[in-house]
Amino acid sequence: MAGFFHGFVRESLPNYLSNLPIPDTFGGWFRLGFKDWLSLVPPTAIVAGLGYTFYLAFCPHGRPQPSAQANHKIRKNEAKVVDNIDIEDIAEKAAFCRCWKSANWPYCDGSHGQHNKETGDNLGPVVVRKKAA
């Protein structure tokens, strides 16, 4: 096994890499044929795969993770936040917040847009409409 690995690293790999059709000039890339481009696919895939693996290993915080707690600021002194709104008090329609980020609680002010962008979530408001008579 060691002999195979030694031969591969010392002879086969350098021969393979030295035979890759890498042009000397920028314009040379446009003169490569189909077989030349095809021979560049495996090393490009290996470099891309290694780059992505290193990215995942050393940059695991690509997207912030939401905390387990949804409500961070609304009436924290209460055991449970409950709002009662009479349907008669709604003009035509009302949008109620579901992300707990609204400064106009319990009504939606669009704060879920930033929340969705940061967490990859898909929250939106609950929209209540009066039934047309």
User: Which are the catalytic amino acids?
Assistant: 80
Q: How many residues does the chain have?
A: 133
C-alpha span between 70 and 76 (Å, rounded)? 11
- Cα angle for residues 85, 105, 122 (degrees, 5° grid): 105
Three-state DSSP at 126 gives strand
Within 10 Å of residue 22's Cβ, how many Cβ atoms?
Answer: 13
- The answer to whether residues 107 and 117 touch, using CB atoms and an 8 Å cutoff, is no
